């Protein structure tokens, strides 16, 4: 079975631009979560979606938004990019919402210049 | 953002040695997870703990959910070179949200 797939794997954007990151969960998983991992730190929670509804949001500005589609895939959008948005963006899926262990994808490495 | 305290931050050990690391929080958690992350990859789930006092093993790895619900421990026995990587703990609070708070990480290096 395919794991969590994320695209693109790497990208470089300029300050002020907009970016869309995509995630396909493991087949049968209905919950998708997004995390930001800055170099040298642990992942920080951004969003969780379950059955297309937002179930949790971390301490990130409104420039960050996400959605989940009927096939349970998800997009993370970031507007007005700042240099500090440079990070590894991780998507994780689980069967249900709640206290289940996630399976992470390999991430999208975003560099803002 | 909020992160859990992990110790040690990094450690060098000889192949074959046992390793212990821990994770502490000021908040009570109802779930603890341990992940390993290799360079350029996402974290891989090693062990999940759901009950205070629970002791769970996965091969050479053993983890425990602290009875105070504010800490967790991970032990690796007879370390091998492929154990190299960064180990993260993650806890889910009882606040009703579904987010996990991750630790600062323990970087493990194994000397052959």
First vs last C-alpha separation in chain A: 37
Chain B, residues 35-54, CB within 8 A of chain A, namely 35, 40-45, 48, 50
pLDDT at B107: 96
pLDDT at A109: 97
When pLDDT is averaged across residues B95-101 and rounded to a whole number, the result is 75
Residues whose CB falls within 8 Å of the CB of residue A28, separated by 6 or more in sequence, listed in order:
A95
pLDDT at A20: 98
Q: What are phi and psi of A27, to 5 degrees?
A: -55, 130
How does residue B95 score in pLDDT terms, banded at 50, 70 and 90? low
pLDDT at B96: 61
Rounded Cα distance, B112 and B100, in Å: 34
Question: Could you report the per-residue pLDDT of B39-74, keeping only the tens digit for each?
Answer: 889 999 999 999 999 999 999 999 999 999 999 999
pLDDT at B81: 92
Question: Could you report the per-residue pLDDT of A7-28, keeping only the tens digit for each?
Answer: 999 999 999 999 999 999 999 9
Q: What is the DSSP secondary-structure string of A88-105?
A: EEEEEEESSSSS---EE-
pLDDT at A106: 96
Higher pLDDT, B2 or B11: B11
Closest partner residue to A45 (CB to CB) among B35, B45, B99 is B99
Mean pLDDT over each residue of chain B, to the nearest integer? 92
pLDDT at A100: 73
Token representation of residue B20: 């212990």
**pLDDT at B31 > cutoff 70:** yes
pLDDT at B1: 67
Counting as low any pLDDT under 70, the low residues of chain A are: 1, 99
pLDDT at A1: 63
**pLDDT at B112 > cutoff 80:** no
**pLDDT at B87 > cutoff 90:** yes
The sign of the torsion formed by the CA atoms of A111, A46, A33, B72 equals: positive
**pLDDT at B99 > cutoff 70:** yes
For residues A58 and A45, is the Cβ–Cβ distance under 8 A? Answer: yes
Chain A residues within 8 A of B101 when measuring between CB atoms: 45
Q: What is the DSSP secondary-structure string of B5-38?
A: EEE-SEEEEETT--EEEEEE-SS-EEEEEEEEE-
Among residues A84, A17, A96, the alpha carbon closest in space to that of A53 is found at A96
Determine, for residues A102 and B45 on separate chains, whether the beta-carbon distance falls below 8 Å: yes
Chain B residues within 8 A of A4 when measuring between CB atoms: 42
Residues whose CB falls within 8 Å of the CB of residue A70, separated by 6 or more in sequence, listed in order:
A52
Rounded Cα distance, A32 and A67, in Å: 10
Determine, for residues A59 and B1 on separate chains, whether the beta-carbon distance falls below 8 Å: yes
Give the helix/strand (H/E) hosting B103: none
Nearest residue of A to residue B1 by CA position? A44
SS3 A85: helix
């Amino acid at each position: 079975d395919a794991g969590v797939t994320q695209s693109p794997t790497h990208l470089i954007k300029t300050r002020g631009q907009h970016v869309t990151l995509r995630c396909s969960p493991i087949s049968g998983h209905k919950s998708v979560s997004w995390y930001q991992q800055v170099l040298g730190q642990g992942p920080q929670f951004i969003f969780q979606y379950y059955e297309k509804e937002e179930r949790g949001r971390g301490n990130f500005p409104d420039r960050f938004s996400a959605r989940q589609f009927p096939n349970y895939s998800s997009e993370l959008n970031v507007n007005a990019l700042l240099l500090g948005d440079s990070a590894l963006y991780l998507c994780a899926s689980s069967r249900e919402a709640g206290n289940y262990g996630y399976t992470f994808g390999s991430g999208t490495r975003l560099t803002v210049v | 953002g909020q992160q859990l305290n992990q110790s040690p931050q990094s450690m060098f050990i000889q192949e074959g040695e046992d390793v212990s690391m821990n994770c502490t929080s000021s908040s009570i958690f109802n779930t603890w997870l341990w992940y390993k992350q290799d360079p350029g990859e996402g974290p891989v789930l090693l062990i999940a703990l759901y009950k205070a006092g629970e002791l769970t093993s996965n091969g050479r790895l053993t983890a425990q959910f602290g009875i105070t619900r504010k800490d967790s421990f991970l032990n690796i026995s007879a370390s091998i070179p492929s154990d190299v990587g960064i180990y993260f703990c993650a806890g889910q609070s009882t606040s009703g949200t579904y987010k996990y708070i991750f630790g600062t990480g323990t970087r493990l290096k194994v000397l052959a």
